[in-house]
């Protein structure tokens, strides 16, 4: 029977102070009581699977052992999931995502299968292709990944070099990787796990290039798992994080696949080699849009994980005296600590709220595309790019801030903060590099600005540009609504400045492309300001919407959090607001006080707020962040698992140290 330990007294007191119902907030964050119950039930089942408990912490395993252990555990997880889903409805994707962390400490080598392989078949395949591949993929009779990036090209996908040349005689495509730079590089699970992949390649028919298209390719024998003839595949080696993601490389040499393996929901190649264009060639990029939307939710969760660890630790940790002769204080009582941590909680809420509406917008576009309507696609692309970029970047900063807030112990692998940082920071690069995505949004913003100048009606997310052009800047008030308007003014001002900078360079004789490059620092700043305005506006709206359906005590706390988020970013960007809005120095002074008041208001609820994220100890995997707060005991228990502590004297003493010391004595 597992030993039940006493909860740390500080945490007991913190939980008694909480002014709202923690469970009510958990249900709200999960999207309903049923979702929470389903999640807890599944996590509880996993908790009791003995084979999922690691005897040796993963960190002490070799690269190879770590991978093999991850595959072993992912297979068990999949089986448990299948059994669970046989009895009831399919688990919600976010619940599966969370449960994964209870099993694999780092990233699962199967992640890309459900994350991109299956969605690409759904998003890019015809009904016939879906009927052929989906049942096998969903049952995991075939396991796949998404192989787009190459050694030479990740961002500029029109420059991909893998070729798919149509042979009308055999009705096949011949895949080739002409140069070393054409090798696929990065796809998760590709190294040694998957037997299929979506390969994105340049289509050639009769010597003519038709751009990049997705192909479904079997790369390994289903029985022996050996690479098929014409396939060169392997693992790319250790990275900053993602230790168990099994990222791989892949090259093709005259590798033939049937015509039906080109995913043809959009463009098609007919038997005789006729190319039929799709409604919009950018629909080929559809899976990336979906994943970018999901990254906003991932960022919310990663921020919640780090906040939970750091807030609980800050409640347990005592260090220094505020006043002489008084006991050492809980570090959470230092205002600077609250400044580091409470924004982490609020940021997670901001991203969750943003994901809620962004995902709805995504579903609407998918539904419209089904009816051949694509009016909202450019706006969704622009939103998903800048919100992916900003949420992943902010999450990276917040996780690092939480690590710093844990002092030296935050640097321990057993705090789990280094691993969380490893996968959080990776998201800034994957699925579209940060700057590149901000520039995609900037492209949309420049067009929107032009339309605003022409008096056209704009899409809702940029409608503020028209308001800004029409009205004088409104009188400043330190209310959340007016501050959000202020963020919109900053965004509008920066968009205008970037636009004018481009025009200036063009007038001076530059090509538009060169002018764009010369203005690109301003362009990314405009895009960032637009993201912040969208985040604050959406977070505020969602909070107002939900506040009417929750208890008054919870509504109050949610209101404190959204205000904290908005005031924090006002103070962080005060310089911009002074330039582009009517805020004055005195308003900023008032907001500084307001910020301190908000920290004080949130203080009694800090532990309750992170408890409400309801992240189990198995998922957190942190000596510093466990629910019971046994920080020091756990640190010592984990240290004792070090193989170096298994013997009183290590052999290196006899081999090297002893002779070395002896020599030194002479
Ligand atoms: C534990 C961790 C938890 C979970 C995660 C675990 C594992 C998951 C990890 C990793 C998975 C990672 C997977 C990947 O990274 S897959 C590879 C992703 N690659 C990219 O994102 C590449 C980025 N590059 C691009 O998307 C394009 O090359 C780019 C958009 C930058 C440019 O494309 P292109 O050159 O073709 O277009 P432009 O000339 O710039 O624009 C033309 C036009 O098209 C519009 N556009 C562009 N993209 C889209 C789109 N997706 N949808 C709709 N429209 C699009 C663009 O706005 C332009 O419009 P206009 O201005 O009107 O001309
Ligand atoms: C952990 C991880 C997992 C991944 N998983 C997958 C996967 O499963 N499948 C897959 O296909 N790929 C995957 N990738 C690849 C990933 O999608 C690419 O690394 C990413 O899109 C960035 O492309 P790049 O590496 O070519 O960067 P580059 O484009 O070479 O970026 C280098 C620098 O150049 C700048 N730059 C590039 N173009 C421009 C421009 N137009 N304007 C201004 N600046 C520019 C960038 O801002 C950046 O600073 C993964 C990557 C990582 C790190």
> Do residues 341 and 238 both lie within one domain?
no
**Ligand approaching nearest to the C-alpha of 443:** 1
> What's the pLDDT score for residue 158?
97
Q: 3-class DSSP state for residue 454? A: coil
Q: Is 625 a member of any domain?
A: no
ipTM: 0.98
- pTM for the full predicted model: 0.97
The answer, yes or no, to whether any atom of ligand 1 lies below 6 A from the CB of 431, is yes
> Do residues 269 and 306 both lie within one domain?
no
User: Which of 425, 429, 522, 525 most suits a substitution to test ligand 2, by most atoms within 8 Å of the C-beta?
Assistant: 429
Give the domain CATH number at 601: 1.20.140.10
Q: Is 303 a member of any domain?
A: yes
Tell me how far the alpha carbon of residue 56 lies from the centroid of ligand 1, in angstroms.
40
| DSSP assigned state of 551 | -
> What's the pLDDT score for residue 664?
86
Residue that is last in its domain, among 278, 310, 327: 278
Block means of pLDDT (10 residues each) for the chain, 666 residues, are 84 98 98 95 94 92 97 95 85 89 93 97 97 96 98 98 98 98 98 98 98 98 98 98 97 98 97 96 95 98 98 97 93 98 98 97 96 96 98 98 98 98 97 98 98 97 94 84 96 98 98 98 98 98 96 98 98 98 97 98 98 97 98 97 96 96 81
As given in the structure block, the two tokens for residue 236 are 């790319």
**Ligand approaching nearest to the C-alpha of 149:** 2
Which of ligand 2's atoms lies nearest the C-alpha of 149?
A: 11
Tell me how far the alpha carbon of residue 249 lies from the centroid of ligand 2, in angstroms.
15
Whether 431 is catalytic is yes
Q: Is 583 a member of any domain?
A: yes
> What's the pLDDT score for residue 89?
74
> Do residues 130 and 99 both lie within one domain?
no
Residue 162: count of CB within 10 angstroms of its CB: 24
- Please give the Cα distance from 592 to 461 (Å, whole number): 29
The answer, yes or no, to whether any atom of ligand 1 lies below 6 A from the CB of 289, is yes
Q: Closest residue (by CA) to atom 16 of ligand 2?
A: 430
Q: Closest residue (by CA) to atom 40 of ligand 1?
A: 440
Which of ligand 2's atoms lies nearest the C-alpha of 423?
A: 1
The one catalytic residue in 431, 433, 454, 618 is: 431
> What's the pLDDT score for residue 472?
63
> Do residues 548 and 411 both lie within one domain?
yes
> What's the pLDDT score for residue 241?
96
Question: Which residues have C-beta atoms less than 6 Å from ligand 2?
Answer: 112, 145-149, 154-155, 186-188, 242, 247, 426, 429-433, 435-436, 439
Please provide the DSSP assignment of 208-234 as one string: EEEEEEEEEEE-B-TTT-PBPTTEEEE
Q: Is 468 a member of any domain?
A: no
Q: Is 560 a member of any domain?
A: yes
> Do residues 508 and 603 both lie within one domain?
yes
CB burial of residue 66 (10 Å; 0-12, 13-18, 19+) = middle
Q: 3-class DSSP state for residue 285? A: helix
The answer, yes or no, to whether any atom of ligand 1 lies below 6 A from the CB of 189, is no
Q: Are 162 and 199 in contact (CB under 8 A)?
A: yes
> Do residues 502 and 550 both lie within one domain?
yes
Q: Is 16 a member of any domain?
A: no
Residue that is last in its domain, among 228, 252, 278: 278
> Do residues 451 and 363 both lie within one domain?
yes
Which domain range does residue 544 map to?
287-460+478-611
* Phi, then psi, of 448 in degrees rounded to 5: -65, -40
Q: Is 648 a member of any domain?
A: no
> Do residues 232 and 291 both lie within one domain?
no
Beta strands in 140-264 (DSSP E): 144-147, 163-167, 172-176, 184-185, 196-205, 208-218, 231-235, 248-252, 255-258
> What's the pLDDT score for residue 473?
64
Tell me how far the alpha carbon of residue 566 lies from the centroid of ligand 1, in angstroms.
30
Per-residue burial over 378-413, b if 16 or more Cβ lie within 10 Å, else e, is: bbbbbbbbbbbbbbbbbbbbbbbbbbebbeebbebe
pLDDT digits (tens, 9 = 90+) for 203-216: 999 999 999 999 99
Residue that is last in its domain, among 98, 113, 128: 113
Tell me how far the alpha carbon of residue 120 lies from the centroid of ligand 2, in angstroms.
20
Give the domain CATH number at 157: 2.40.110.10
> Do residues 537 and 585 both lie within one domain?
yes
Residue 442, CA distances (Å) to 403, 517, 536, 638 in order: 33, 12, 19, 48
> What pairing do the DSSP bridges indicate for beta strands 144-147 and 196-205?
parallel
Tell me how far the alpha carbon of residue 155 lies from the centroid of ligand 2, in angstroms.
5
Q: Is 520 a member of any domain?
A: yes
> Do residues 318 and 368 both lie within one domain?
yes
> Do residues 180 and 329 both lie within one domain?
no
What's the domain count of the chain? 3
> Do residues 447 and 403 both lie within one domain?
yes
């Amino acid at each position: 029977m597992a030993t039940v330990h006493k909860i740390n007294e500080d945490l007991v007191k913190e939980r008694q102070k909480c002014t709202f119902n923690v469970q009510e907030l958990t249900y709200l964050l999960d999207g309903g009581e049923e979702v929470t119950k389903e999640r807890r039930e599944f996590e509880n089942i996993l908790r009791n699977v003995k084979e999922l408990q690691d005897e040796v912490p993963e960190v002490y395993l070799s690269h190879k052992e770590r991978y093999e252990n991850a595959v072993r555990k992912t297979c068990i997880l999949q089986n448990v999931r299948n059994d669970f889903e046989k009895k009831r409805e399919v688990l919600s994707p976010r619940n599966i995502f969370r449960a994964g962390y209870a099993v694999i400490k780092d990233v699962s080598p199967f992640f890309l299968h459900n994350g991109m392989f299956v969605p690409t078949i759904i998003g890019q395949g015809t009904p016939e292709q879906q009927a052929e591949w989906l049942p096998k993929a969903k049952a995991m009779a075939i396991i796949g990944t998404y192989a787009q990036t190459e050694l030479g090209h990740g961002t500029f996908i029109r420059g991909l070099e893998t070729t798919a040349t149509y042979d009308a005689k055999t009705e096949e495509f011949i895949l080739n990787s002409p140069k070393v730079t054409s090798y696929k590089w990065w796809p998760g699970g590709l190294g040694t796990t998957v037997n299929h992949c979506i390969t994105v390649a340049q289509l050639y028919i009769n010597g003519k290039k038709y751009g990049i298209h997705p192909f479904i390719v079997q790369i390994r024998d289903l029985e022996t798992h050996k690479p098929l003839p014409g396939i060169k595949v392997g693992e790319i080696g250790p990275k900053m994080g993602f230790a168990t993601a099994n990222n791989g490389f892949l090259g093709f040499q005259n590798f033939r696949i049937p015509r039906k393996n080109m995913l043809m929901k959009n463009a098609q190649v007919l038997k005789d080699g006729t190319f039929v264009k799709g409604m919009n060639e950018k629909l080929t990029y559809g899976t990336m849009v979906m994943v970018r939307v999901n990254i906003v939710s991932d960022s919310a969760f990663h921020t919640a994980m780090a906040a939970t660890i750091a807030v609980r630790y800050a409640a347990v940790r005592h260090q220094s005296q505020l006043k002489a002769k008084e006991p050492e204080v809980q570090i959470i009582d230092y205002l600077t600590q609250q400044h580091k941590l409470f924004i982490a909680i609020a940021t997670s809420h901001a991203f969750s709220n943003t994901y809620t509406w962004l995902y709805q917008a995504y579903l609407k576009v998918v539904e419209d595309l089904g009816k051949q309507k694509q009016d909202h696609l450019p706006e969704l692309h622009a939103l998903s790019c800048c919100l992916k970029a900003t949420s992943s970047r902010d999450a990276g900063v917040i996780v690092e801030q939480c690590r710093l807030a844990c002092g030296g112990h935050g640097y321990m692998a057993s705090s789990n903060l280094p691993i969380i940082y490893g996968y959080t920071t990776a998201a800034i690069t994957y699925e579209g590099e940060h700057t590149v995505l901000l520039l995609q949004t900037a492209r949309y913003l420049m067009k929107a600005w032009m339309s605003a100048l022409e008096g056209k009606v704009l899409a809702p997310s940029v409608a503020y540009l028209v308001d800004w052009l029409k009205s004088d800047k409104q009188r400043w008030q330190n209310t959340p609504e007016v501050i959000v308007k202020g963020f919109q003014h900053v965004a509008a001002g920066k968009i205008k400045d970037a636009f004018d900078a481009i025009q200036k360079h063009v007038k001076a004789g530059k090509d538009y492309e060169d002018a764009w490059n010369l203005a690109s620092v301003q362009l990314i700043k405009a895009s960032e300001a637009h993201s912040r305005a969208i985040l604050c506006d959406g977070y505020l709206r969602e909070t107002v919407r939900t506040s009417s359906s929750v208890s008054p005590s919870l509504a109050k706390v949610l209101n404190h959090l959204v205000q904290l988020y908005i005031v924090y970013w006002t103070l962080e960007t005060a310089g911009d607001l002074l330039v582009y809005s009517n805020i004055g120095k005195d308003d900023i002074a008032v907001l500084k006080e307001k910020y301190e008041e908000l920290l004080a208001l949130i203080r009694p609820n800090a532990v309750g707020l992170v408890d409400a994220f309801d992240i189990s100890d198995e998922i957190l995997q942190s000596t510093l962040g466990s629910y019971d707060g046994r920080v020091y005991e756990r640190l010592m228990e984990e240290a004792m698992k070090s193989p170096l502590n298994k013997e009183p004297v290590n052999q290196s003493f006899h081999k090297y140290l002893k002779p070395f010391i002896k020599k030194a004595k002479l």
